[in-house]
Amino acid sequence: MDAVASFVAQLLNGLAGASSLFLVAAGLSLIFGVTRIVNFAHGSFYMVGIYAAYSAVAWIGEGPGYWAGLVLAAVAVGVLGALIEILLLRRIYHAPELFQLLATFALVLVIKDAALWLWGPEELLGPRAPGLRGSVPILGRQFPSYDLFLIVVGPLVLGLLWLLLTRTRFGTLVRAATQDREMVGALGVNQAWLFTAVFALGAMLAGLGGALQLPREPANLELDLATIGAAFVVVVVGGMGSIPGAYVAALLIAELKAICIWLGVVEIAGVSISFSKLTLVVEFLVMAVVLVVRPWGLMGRPQAPSRNAGAAEAPLRAPDRLAKAAIAAVVLALFALPALSSQSPYVVILTIDILVAVLFAASLHFIMGPGGMHSFGHAAYFGLGAYGAAILLRATGAPMEIALIAAPLIAAVGALVFGWFCVRLSGVYLAMLTLAFAQIAWAIVYQWDAFTGGSNGLTGVWPSAWFSDKRAYYALTLALVLAGVFVLRRILYAPFGYAMRAVRDSTLRADAIGIDVKRVQWVAFVIGGLVAGLAGALFAFSKGSISPETLHVAKSVDGLVMVLLGGVQTLAGPVVGATLFTWLHDSVARSTEYWRAMLGGIILILVLLFPQGVAGFVRQVVYGRREAKGGS
């Protein structure tokens, strides 16, 4: 009997958790539905919401003013959102798809450091809500009265949003824009202000979600990234753009977590399984299952083919003399580097990191640019390569040379399995499924102490004797990275590369000329994974140790940032982007205390100056006129 009561009480806990999740996710869903922006900064809005609520309540004082403080905080975040949309995002809507993601990534960095500067490093636990400080007895348990309030707030906000979307002209426009954003422009509506309003509303909802957590958790600087992942999962599981879907998904995930915690450690057939530990990854498991079964989420509809506002990609041209000379000069300089920098050995060390990043970014660009498959989980294959190499070396005593050959194959097997599911999806859903698989792989590596070293990772992964000198290892890395980049390039110029771009440009047409779209994408995905695996193996041996960070979502995001920074529409893009990002990261982190804000600020400037990416900009300057004239 008590077990039943305990279970029901846990479901109530889940309901309260669902409300919090829903508020952030609803805003994210609205923003994506209308503007098609993958807003990485949404978690930051949530974080600012709770910090702002803390300050507002401290300023107004407790008592009834407390609630005014929470609302004030949400409104403030809404205003912040509006400003960001007007000052930043509005200027880059015409950039290639996903480019806005780069801007929001930079915002995450800037907002995090701004919060650190404003509110300090210590967690700030807010006061309890007046009138809801205590608990009420339910099923023989003390249930926090504030949680009861939260349980009501979620459906209430859902209802209000529903009214707003179905009963007002604004709502009609939002729904129309979610279906087909060009149509709204055609209807004579000022699209710019619609976007601003939606972005502000979404930000405000995130801010409200944060503010309402004030009585439950301390404001702290980890909240942004902790929130964004969960919010994306909820949006995707529910179906992008579907507000009721977001609530259903939030409920599903929160309840599953509550049930896992309720189960605790269970003995099944003599094996004790900790369901409590499963909460590490349960939302991503749900997302993977939902996307495999329902490719557009629980309540979503197939996405209208993305009619990208940006200019179409220019055809691939064989490098001309100028480009060939530039490539030759760079390669020569790279081979001469150890000799040239004998006085400053760190140059070689940093360049190894840059080269590994270049290979990783090039492999991501391969599937993301020409392949048209946006991967948010490419680090999975980097990590599989790194772990594959490390485990092979440690467990079987195989030499580095063998490990370097085997590791990419291990990554390719991972890509073969995950890719089979991923290529059945498209657009953001595909991206999120890659993320789900990457997070599941990450969670396994993170938990499997005996095999992968768990959260501590593995050490003692050093190169063979004759490569133990940094310059020798540099030469090896350079040779393999050049080979990898060259092979990827060669494939892109070969019929298969053309087929990849054909499939991306028009699935319909590709299918109508006998191309097996899914298979082409699958093969491309595996090639991308294979090369990422090589990058991962090179990374492992250059560091001597690896940890779950190598396949964490942050690593995937780094890859995306590199590709977008360099320019997704040029082959040089990932090379330039990876070099620039790694070098910037290294030098900025060394030179200033608030290096995250500085790095974010620099990226924002680059974003505004070069919406085609840095390499894209260079190409435009050098070749722009010729291409505008249309070729030869």
Partner 1 sequence: MFRNPIRKLCTAAVAAAFAVAAAPALAKEPIKIGEINSYKAQPAFLEPYKKGMQLAIDQINASGGILGRQVELITRDDNANPGDAVRLAEELVSREKVDVLTGSFLSHIGLALTDFAKQKKVFFLAGEPLTDKIVWQNGNHYTFRLRPSTYMQVAMLMPEAAALKKKRWAIVYPNYEYGQSAAATFKELLKAAQPDAEIVAEQAPPLGKVDAGSVVQALADAKPDAIFNVLFGADLAKFVREGNTRGLFKGREVVSLLTGEPEYLDPLKDEAPNGWLVTGYPWYAINTPEHKAFLAAYKKAFNDHPRLGSIVGYSAIMSLAAGIKKAGSTDTEKLIAAFSGLTVDTPFGKISYRPEDHQSTMGGYVGRTKNEGGKGVMVDFRYIDGAKVLPSAAEVKKLRPAG
Partner 2 sequence: MTARKPLLVASGLSKSFGGVKAVDGIDFTLAAGELLALIGPNGAGKSTTFNLVNGQLVADTGSIRFGGREMVGMKPRDIWRMGVGRTFQIAATFASLTVVENVQMALVSADDRLYSMWRRAADYRRSDALDLLDLVGMAGQADRPCSVLAYGDVKRVELAIALANQPKLLLMDEPTAGMAPRERNDLMALTKSLVVERGIAVLFTEHSMDVVFAYADRIIVLARGRLIAEGAPQTIRDHPDVQQVYFGSGKTFEKAAAAKGTA
Region 546-565 residues binding partner 2, contact defined as CB under 8 A: none
- Bridging pattern class, strands 265-268 and 271-274: antiparallel
Residue with tokens 């900064």: 41
From candidates 63, 131, 264, 315, binder to partner 2 by CB under 8 A: 315
CB atoms within 10 A of CB 30: 25
543 binds partner 1 (CB under 8 A): yes
From candidates 168, 179, 190, 344, binder to partner 1 by CB under 8 A: 344
Residues 240-259 that bind partner 1 (CB under 8 A): 257-258
**Cβ-Cβ contacts under 8 Å for 277 (sequence gap 6 or more):** 447
Residues 515-544 that bind partner 2 (CB under 8 A): 515-516, 520, 523
Question: How far, in Å, CA of 283 to CA of 254, rounded?
Answer: 9
- Of 89, 564, 127, nearest in space to 368 by CA: 564
Question: How far, in Å, CA of 114 to CA of 219, rounded?
Answer: 14
Out of partner 2, partner 1, none, what residue 631 binds, judged by CB under 5 to 8 A for its kind, is: partner 2
631 binds partner 1 (CB under 8 A): no
> Shortest approach of partner 1 to residue 345 CB, angstroms?
4
**Cβ-Cβ contacts under 8 Å for 380 (sequence gap 6 or more):** 414, 418, 434, 437, 438, 441, 442, 529, 551, 556
Q: Are 538 and 404 in contact (CB under 8 A)?
A: yes
From candidates 71, 75, 82, 125, binder to partner 1 by CB under 8 A: 125
- Of 100, 241, 236, 235, nearest in space to 171 by CA: 241
Out of partner 2, partner 1, none, what residue 497 binds, judged by CB under 5 to 8 A for its kind, is: partner 2
> What amino acid is encoded at 64 in this protein?
P
From candidates 36, 42, 374, 501, binder to partner 2 by CB under 8 A: 501
Task: Mark residues 265-284: x for contact with partner 1 by CB under 8 A, - for none.
Answer: x--------x-xx-xx----
**Cβ-Cβ contacts under 8 Å for 153 (sequence gap 6 or more):** 19, 23, 212
From candidates 83, 86, 88, 116, binder to partner 1 by CB under 8 A: 116
Out of partner 2, partner 1, none, what residue 88 binds, judged by CB under 5 to 8 A for its kind, is: none
Question: How far, in Å, CA of 132 to CA of 71, rounded?
Answer: 17
Strands of 509-581, DSSP E: 544-546
From candidates 435, 502, 561, 597, binder to partner 2 by CB under 8 A: 502
| 3-class DSSP state of 397 | coil
Q: Are 208 and 46 in contact (CB under 8 A)?
A: no
312 binds partner 2 (CB under 8 A): yes
> Shortest approach of partner 2 to residue 381 CB, angstroms?
19
Q: Please say which residue, 449 or 511, places its beta carbon nearer to partner 2.
A: 511
409 binds partner 2 (CB under 8 A): no
Residue with tokens 């090379």: 575
**Cβ-Cβ contacts under 8 Å for 272 (sequence gap 6 or more):** 265, 266
Q: Please say which residue, 119 or 429, places its beta carbon nearer to partner 1.
A: 119
Q: Which span sits near partner 1 by CB under 8 A: 115-123, 178-186, 433-441, 476-484? A: 115-123
Q: Phi-psi category of 168—alpha, beta or left, where left has phi over 0 and alpha has psi -120 to 50?
A: beta
> Shortest approach of partner 1 to residue 486 CB, angstroms?
25
462 binds partner 1 (CB under 8 A): yes
Q: Are 392 and 403 in contact (CB under 8 A)?
A: yes
590 binds partner 1 (CB under 8 A): yes
Sign (positive or negative) of CA dihedral 93, 94, 96, 97: positive
- CA 291, 293, 294: angle at the middle one, nearest 5? 65
DSSP class per residue in 413-459? HHHHHHHHHHTTS-HHHHHHHHHHHHHHHHHHHHH-HHHH-GGG-EE
Out of partner 2, partner 1, none, what residue 170 binds, judged by CB under 5 to 8 A for its kind, is: none
Residues 130-169 that bind partner 2 (CB under 8 A): none
Q: Please say which residue, 590 or 629, places its beta carbon nearer to partner 2.
A: 629
How far is residue 68 from each of residues 42, 50, 207, 212, 307, measured CA to CA in Å? 23, 14, 14, 12, 42
509 binds partner 2 (CB under 8 A): yes
**Cβ-Cβ contacts under 8 Å for 280 (sequence gap 6 or more):** 443, 446, 447
Task: Mark residues 142-181: x for contact with partner 1 by CB under 8 A, - for none.
Answer: xxx--x----------------------------------
62 binds partner 1 (CB under 8 A): no
Question: How far, in Å, CA of 602 to CA of 586, rounded?
Answer: 13
Out of partner 2, partner 1, none, what residue 433 binds, judged by CB under 5 to 8 A for its kind, is: none
From candidates 505, 587, 589, 624, binder to partner 2 by CB under 8 A: 505
> Shortest approach of partner 2 to residue 564 CB, angstroms?
18
Question: How far, in Å, CA of 363 to CA of 576, rounded?
Answer: 14
449 binds partner 2 (CB under 8 A): no
- Of 483, 486, 514, nearest in space to 499 by CA: 514
Sign (positive or negative) of CA dihedral 543, 545, 549, 551: positive
From candidates 350, 416, 472, 487, binder to partner 1 by CB under 8 A: 350
Out of partner 1, partner 2, none, what residue 462 binds, judged by CB under 5 to 8 A for its kind, is: partner 1
290 binds partner 1 (CB under 8 A): no
Q: Please say which residue, 170 or 493, places its beta carbon nearer to partner 2.
A: 493
Out of partner 2, partner 1, none, what residue 62 binds, judged by CB under 5 to 8 A for its kind, is: none
Q: Which span sits near partner 2 by CB under 8 A: 214-222, 339-347, 374-382, 492-500? A: 492-500
Both tokens of 400, joined, read 């580095």
Residues 547-566 that bind partner 1 (CB under 8 A): 547-550
Out of partner 1, partner 2, none, what residue 509 binds, judged by CB under 5 to 8 A for its kind, is: partner 2
> Shortest approach of partner 2 to residue 309 CB, angstroms?
14
From candidates 85, 147, 313, 353, binder to partner 2 by CB under 8 A: 313
- Of 111, 128, 155, 152, nearest in space to 213 by CA: 128
From candidates 506, 585, 595, 601, binder to partner 2 by CB under 8 A: 506
346 binds partner 1 (CB under 8 A): yes
Out of partner 1, partner 2, none, what residue 514 binds, judged by CB under 5 to 8 A for its kind, is: partner 2
Question: How far, in Å, CA of 435 to CA of 381, rounded?
Answer: 12
From candidates 137, 188, 397, 495, binder to partner 2 by CB under 8 A: 495
Q: Which span sits near partner 1 by CB under 8 A: 323-331, 342-350, 476-484, 496-504? A: 342-350
Q: Using CB under 8 A, list all residues that contact partner 2.
A: 311-316, 318, 490-491, 493-499, 501-502, 504-506, 508-516, 520, 523, 627, 630-632
